[in-house]
Amino acid sequence: MPDMNYAAHPSYRGWRRDAALDTLDIVVGGVAVSKISGPSPSVYEDSTTRLYPLSTRLVVDDRVYHYARAGEALQRWQGACNNDSWSLTNEEPNQDASVGDTEIQVVNTTATKNQYQNGWVVIFTGRVQVRRILANDASDTTDTKLYLDGGLEEAIANGTTWVTGYPSIYYDTRHSASDYNSIVCVPNCVVASESYYWGQTWGPCYGRVISTVPGVTAYDREIYFGAEGSLYGHIQAEGDTAGGYQRAGYLLPKTSSGGGDQLYMLQLAV
């Protein structure tokens, strides 16, 4: 098992080795936020147990990964979207909070422990305040408490200050045919529903194509995500929609007329 004793030293900042993954970790506030490794088989495996906070960063050779949860079964090499919208929608905190406080209590009847960890909260005071959510308590069937990464600049008044909260973008990742989702990572393995995995966000990556393989036409180098996280070449994407598909990166190998490829430089998050 990984060394999870960081919480015993919440003020600790620096480097620490995770013996289970054989990684060198950057630790902030007692929590490993970034992991550096050589080649590791763990990026090709999922797990039913959550071992790290969601969005934890892992660097492996030229590739970058973020720790994610699957909201449904996922296929390898196919982009996974953030399936969460704002789930604390204009809720009213039912408890006052003072300037400098780093904890706020909001109405939420169903939150599980750390469901919002590494998500965001927007607080509509006179000056709109945006804070990272470090952790949250499980709901007591009425409320949940959010722990923020910085003190409040303005006080919150019970029942009159509105907030909107967002879970981590890696909390509920799915392949979606919806036209209203954004891809956040690419699994390198098959992932079971509600399992955890390292989702690739940067570096050389392989992809599934929708129809035409990118690179068969001159200057067709840009890569986009289309339906359910499969890939479009730029020329096909441009011709298929008047809107804008999400950019995935650019094609890596040399191609030729009629001879495309699917190895590309993924460019989502470093």
If asked whether residues 256 and 132 sit together in one domain, one would say no
Domain of residue 123: give its range: 88-166
Band of pLDDT at residue 189, cut at 50, 70 and 90: very high
How confident is the model at residue 89, as a pLDDT? 59
If asked whether residues 18 and 36 sit together in one domain, one would say yes
If asked whether residues 240 and 214 sit together in one domain, one would say yes
The mean pLDDT of 166-170, rounded to a whole number, is 93
How confident is the model at residue 14, as a pLDDT? 85
How confident is the model at residue 3, as a pLDDT? 42
Considering the domain boundaries, does residue 83 fall inside one? Answer: no
If asked whether residues 178 and 115 sit together in one domain, one would say no
pLDDT at 8 over 70: no
How confident is the model at residue 235, as a pLDDT? 72
User: Model confidence over 98-109: pLDDT tens digits?
Assistant: 999 999 998 888
If asked whether residues 177 and 135 sit together in one domain, one would say no
156 versus 242: the higher-pLDDT residue is: 156
The count of other CB atoms within 10 Å of the CB of residue 213 is: 18
How confident is the model at residue 10, as a pLDDT? 57
Instruction: Quote the tokens at residue 248.
Output: 């995935």
Band of pLDDT at residue 257, cut at 50, 70 and 90: confident
Instruction: Quote the tokens at residue 137.
Output: 């308590």
SS (H, E, C) the chain: CCCCHHHHCCCCCEEEEECCCCEEEEEECCEEEEEEECCCHHHHCCECCCCCCCCCEEEECCEEEEEEEECCCECCCCCEEECCCCCEEEECCCCCECCCCCEEEEECCCCCCCCCCCCEEEEECCCCEEEEEEEECCCCCCEEEEEECCCCCCCECCCCCEEEEECCCCCCEECCCCCCCCEEEEECCCECCCCEEEEEEEEEEECCECCCCCCCCCCCCEEEECHHHCEEEHHHHHHHCCCCCEEEEEECCCCECCECCCEEEEECCC
Cβ contacts of residue 222 below 8 Å, gap of 6+? 233, 234, 247, 250, 251
If asked whether residues 58 and 160 sit together in one domain, one would say no
User: Model confidence over 23-57: pLDDT tens digits?
Assistant: 888 888 777 888 887 666 589 999 999 988 899 99
If asked whether residues 123 and 180 sit together in one domain, one would say no
Tally of domains within the chain: 3
If asked whether residues 190 and 215 sit together in one domain, one would say no
| Cα dihedral: 53, 55, 61, 62 (round 10) | 180
Nearest-CA neighbor of 225 among 185, 253, 173, 183? 183
User: Model confidence over 60-103: pLDDT tens digits?
Assistant: 888 999 999 999 999 999 999 999 877 665 566 768 999 999 99
Considering the domain boundaries, does residue 194 fall inside one? Answer: yes
If asked whether residues 41 and 149 sit together in one domain, one would say no
Report the side by side order of strands in the sheet with 103-107: 88-91, 162-166, 120-124, 129-136, 143-148, 103-107
Q: Percentage of the chain surpassing pLDDT 90?
A: 50
pTM as predicted: 0.85
pLDDT at 228 over 90: no
Instruction: Look over the chain and give the mean of its residue pLDDT values, rounded to a whole number.
Output: 86
If asked whether residues 97 and 158 sit together in one domain, one would say yes
How far is residue 14 from each of residues 10, 66, 107, measured CA to CA in Å? 12, 20, 36
